[in-house]
Each structure stands twice: as structure tokens, then as C-alpha cells.
Homo-oligomer: A and B are copies of this chain.
Amino acid sequence: MSVPSQTPAAAGPTGVWLVGARGSVATTTIAGCAALAAGLLPPTGLVTETPPFARSGLPALSSLVFGGHDTADGPLTKRAEQLAAQGVLPHWLPAAVHGELTAADSRVRPGGPQPGDDRGPEELITAFATDIREFVHSTGVARTVVVNVASTEPAPGSGEWPASSLYAAAALRVGCAYVNFTPSTGLRHPQLAAAARDSGLPYTGRDGKTGQTLLRSVLAPMFGQRALTVRAWSGTNLLGGGDGASLADPAAAAAKNAGKERVLVDNLGALPAGEVHIDDVPALGDWKTAWDHVAFDGFLGTRMVLQTIWQGCDSALAAPLVLDLARLLARAHEVGLTGPRPELGFYFKDPDGDSASLSEQYAALLAFAERLGESR
């Protein structure tokens, strides 16, 4: 099902700058990339390692160089060991990729603003941009993709600068492609609209589609295609990692739920009744469970029900998509594509263009893969 990466080595290494570089997703991304580059594990979950992407000119996994911002201390090696203890990473992996984790760790810079930090937005943007620029120079990467994988923020008040937008502004300033893998604001800040448009950079988002919403994006079209009437679509998510804690904040959950609802609206034509809950269950660690209950009407109004239970590991679902997006956007940057990339809706709850069924999004992704290859 997968092929070795046949892309010709791009001119030198490619940078991946992770906002939230010491979180579970980032740690899994860095450790996993190293494991795959070394051939220690097959590239399960990595769409860009399947045959349709073999001629797209994507940077090789072995050419990716990681750095990033984080407000947390503590070495990536320790974080990886914690993830291994939970079963998120194979227990032997932290030791096997110790060198790569240590190297990436040395390129993580303090994020912000931390409590007590009284720098204003412009100062912070400048500081973040300086960090990224230094990374680019010191590593000699040909180009860098900034990827936001930090905890979800509460929706900002009017006129406020959420941290995610400060990092996004820094990315633009340094000339980096940008991916927002979270529901946070990022580049979609009113004061960044013009800069994004004029940047000549490709960017994409928002909010990676890794579990319940992924399922919804294949099930909702089925109801429509079969002319079945969805009466109510209800769901509960249990998750325990940092994401569980941050989404237990209703303000943060609101942004996430908007994306979940968008998938139903876009595929069913209207938002059905039903609520979505996100519960913080620390005992689950990085594992998440999503239960969905769909009450629908069939022929002659008969009442029917579909229920789904999705039990997955949050970081392991997200990390390969982060690698996919970094590679795709790096290549898009290389071949001169700019602006929002609706072709990457396959990866997002709240994509840049029209939302659609997963199969339509997959078709668009394959077309994009071909286009990237033709530009070679």
C-alpha cells in the first residue's frame, strides 16, 4: 500500500517549525519522522507516502529539520518517554531516535506571551520572527513551513491578538508557508488578512480532521446520497491529553465545535439537531473515544439509528497529517503556489474552500499531488 519516497532530493533540507513543539503531537511528529526516515516502521497513516504522491516532488522525510516554539520546558526525549509509557509510541522508539529528538530540542525557543510578559504584539511578533530566521540560517534549510500544533485557544475578544496569530504573523514576516492544524485563529485574524494575501506564500488550515469529524465527513454524505433524513446527530468526545484539558474550557470548545458542525452543514444542507460534548478524562491520556448517535428517518418515516464509536490515539492520528501538510506546503511553496489552498480540505474540519465529502476532498488532493509533480 505504500512506496518508498521517490522524490528527488530537493535542494537541501526543508524546515518544519512547530508552534507547540513540546506537545504530544509535535513529539510524535518528530519521533515518527525519524523512525520512518530510518526505515524502523512502515509509513502507516502517511498519505504522502502512498503511490499517487510518488512523483509530486515532495521533500523526503529524511530531509525534514524540526524546530519550534513552546512555552513549556523539559526535553523532548522525556516527553517521548511519557508517550511511550502510554502506548502512543512503541516503547523502544524514544531510545532509537534519541539523537533526532535531542537535535530538535536544541532548536526549540521559548514561546509566549507567558504570564507577566508585558511585551506588546509587535514586540512578540518580532521576537518570534527572529527565532525562526535564526533557525533558517543555522540549519540552512531551503524553506520552512510553520505548523501550529499548540493547544486550542479560547476565541479571542474583538481587537485582541491571540498567540496563534502572533506566530502566524511571524511566519509571514520570515516568508514561511503556514499550516494551522488547530481551531485557533492563526492567520484568520482580521489584521492579518492583507498581509496574508500579499505575502506570496501558500497557507492552509484549519483544525485537523482526525476522528469524529473524519467519520462524519464520510457518513453524512451517505445519508444525503440515499435520501435519508437525519433528525438528530449527537456526539460525545472523551479525551485526556492536553487537548482534553484545554477543550474543557467552553470558549476553546466553541471553536472546535464550529468546525464539527460545519462538516454536517456542508454535507447535509442544514445543521441537524443534536449537541457535541468534549469531556476531559485524564485517565484516557492521549487516547480519545468519540461516540456518535445519528437518529434518521427512512422510507415511510421509519425511525432508524446509526451509532459509531471511534477509539484512537490523538497524537498518532494527527502526526502523520502534520508531516503530510508540511511536505505538501513546502513543495507548493517551492513551485510558487500562493494563498489559501482549498485542495487540502481533506485534512481539515474548517478548510479554506468549500467543505465537501471526504471522497471529493480526496479527489481534490490527488489532483493537487499531480499538479505539484507537473511543476517540477
Measured CB to CB, the nearest residue on chain B to A222 is B218
Docked complex: A340-371 residues within 8 A CB-CB of B = 346, 357-360, 362
Contacts of A308 in B (CB 8 A): 306-309
Residue of B nearest to A358 (CB): B222
Contact between A298 and B229, CB atoms less than 8 A apart = no
From A137-145, A151-159, A192-200, A271-279, the one touching the partner chain is A271-279
Across the two chains, which residue of chain B brings its CB closest to A313? B302
A291 within 8 A of B: yes
Compute how far the CA of A297 lies from the CA of B45 in the bound complex, rounded to whole angstroms.
8
For A123-151 the 0/1 string (1 means CB < 8 A from B) is: 00000000000000000000000000000
Chain A 210-240 per-residue mask, 1 if CB under 8 angstroms from chain B, else 0: 0000110011011011111101101010100
Interfacial chain B residues near A231, Cβ < 8 Å: 283
Interface bracket on A: 35 or more
Assess the A228–B295 pair: CB atoms within 8 A.
Answer: no
Please state if B215 and A93 are interface contacts (CB–CB under 8 Å).
Answer: no
Residues of chain A having any CB pair with chain B under 8 Å: 1-2, 28, 31-32, 35, 41-47, 49-50, 84-85, 87-91, 93, 214-215, 218-219, 221-222, 224-229, 231-232, 234, 236, 238, 269, 273-275, 277, 279, 281-284, 289, 291, 293, 295, 297-302, 304-313, 316-317, 319-320, 346, 357-360, 362
Q: Taking A44-B228, A357-B359 as given, write out 16 further A-B residue pairs in contact, using a Cβ cutoff of 8 Å, ordered by the A residue number.
A: A2-B227, A28-B299, A41-B301, A42-B301, A44-B299, A44-B300, A44-B301, A45-B228, A45-B298, A87-B87, A215-B222, A225-B362, A275-B279, A302-B313, A306-B310, A308-B309
